[in-house]
Structure 1
Amino acid sequence: MIPDVIWSGVIASLITISGVLISNWSNTNRLKLQLQHDAAEKTKERTATLRREVYLRTVEELVKVNTHLVGLPQLDLTKINLGDGLQGFNSAAARLQLVAEPKTAAIVNQLQAEYGELVFDLMIHLMPASNAKTDIQIADEMYLKTQMEVTRILSEMTKQNESGTPDLRTFEALQTNLAFQQTQADKFSEERNAGWIRFTESNFAFQRFLISKLRDINTKHIPVLIAIRQDLGLTGNLDEIEAQMKAQGQRMESKFDELISFFKANESAIQPTPQQQIR
């Protein structure tokens, strides 16, 4: 008994409500997708920022490691730990393990192990240079003591001469002691010079061994740096970058060989003077 016009109104209302519900459902889904997308982008951005900081720190510490290894012969092994120079790189590598892609983390971990093994190998090759430095230090200290004694004796002899009535026996004793101290000074000076020669030769041998080891390790630097560039989304011809890095390593090794040859050819001219040895 309900008029058709009422049914028409009810049906129209239902259609309108259905349209509103469908529109709201669609808008809600789009909003959810947008929020999910924004959250994913923010996560990617935070990850990229964190990775950039960690990766750059790792590369920086990697450069410091090589500098530390080259300078090991100049350090006093009784006062420092050879592994101290690797602490920065080890810390950076540990942080990198948390944020890097699995492939990048794996090759950095392998590189870290290579450096750890290298430190143990270097300990043996550092001993000749370390022993030479010890001999130099001992000879230098004794040389300085004899020089101080020579200065004291000369002062006493001057006092005897200036007194007007020098004691002949005392003066002769001072002369004898002076000759002995000068002989000792010459002896310690020669020992110090011999120590410097041994140190120079040991240092060259150490650097040659280190260069050969770093040549092998540097081949593992290239995959690390390329993986880091890929993780950071940096574009470029990776094959060209790899070729450039290999060529740079070969040039550095060639220049080192030239430097060693120059030192060998001018060994007598580059020996340190007594003043340089004291410093």
Structure 2
Amino acid sequence: MELIISCISKIPNVVWSAVIASLLTFLGVLWTNKGNEKRQAALLIHEENKFKFEQKISLKKDVFLEVAGSFANVLGIIPKLMNLNFTHEDINKLMGDHGAIVAKIYLPANEATVAEILN
């Protein structure tokens, strides 16, 4: 034991200061990395939520614009109904995929929106 203590006491103070400075630097790097890891995790969660929100809004926009266009086309049929030469087949041709387009509204809409559209 005395041999170890004598060896340690022979080490110059400059070396001890370098060892202590290195340990403090190492602890500072660990602390910084831990903080960066927390910030990165929070950023990833934020980006995920933002991406999901943007996807949801994009889906709503695409579906609602298509439904609005389909309703505009259907409303355009009403004045044509006054034409006596306008047949049932012509109506079906103009209506086209209106039912399928309106059915897409169930994807992004909530119950109140669907109820309003159906009314």
Whether TM-score is above 0.5 comes out as yes
2:43 is equivalent to residue 34 of structure 1: yes
Aligned: 1:76 with 2:81: no
What code does the residue aligned with 1:90 have?
G
For the residue of structure 2 that corresponds to 1:29, the secondary structure is helix
Query: Map of 1:212-227 to 2, 5 A cutoff?
Result: none
Give 1:8 deviation, angstroms: 5.5
34, 54, 63: which is aligned to 2:63? 54
Percent identity, aligned pairs only, is 26
1:82 CA drift (Å)? 5.9
User: 1:98: Cα distance to partner?
Assistant: 1.1
The alignment's TM-score, normalised by the length of structure 1, stands at 0.32
Distance 1:83 1:21 in 2: 70
Counterpart contact for 2:70–2:98, Cα < 8 Å: yes
**Alpha-carbon deviations, 1:163-215, whole Å to 9, x = none?**
xxxxxxxxxxxxxxxxxxxxxxxxxxxxxxxxxxxxxxxxxxxxxxxxxxxxx
Structure showing greater radius of gyration is: 1
Which runs of no fewer than 5 residues in structure 1 stay unpaired? 112-279
Aligned residues: 108
Judge which range, 36-45 or 81-90, deviates more.
Answer: 81-90
- How far apart are residue 13 of structure 1 and its match? 3.0
Residue 99 of structure 1 aligns to a residue in which SS?
A: coil
Cα separation, 2, equivalents of 1:107 and 1:16: 64
Deviates more, 1:81-90 or 1:36-45: 81-90
TM-score of the superposition, structure 2-length normalised?
Answer: 0.63
1:89 is matched with 98
Q: Deviations over 1:115-164 (max 9, x none)?
A: xxxxxxxxxxxxxxxxxxxxxxxxxxxxxxxxxxxxxxxxxxxxxxxxxx
Question: In 1, Cα distance between the equivalents of 2:44 and 2:38?
Answer: 10
**2:87 counterpart SS class:** coil
For residues 17 and 111 of structure 2, the distance between their equivalents in structure 1, rounded to whole angstroms, comes to: 65
Considering only aligned residues, what root-mean-square deviation do their CA atoms show, in Å?
A: 3.1
Larger RCO (alpha carbons 8 Å, 6+ apart): 2
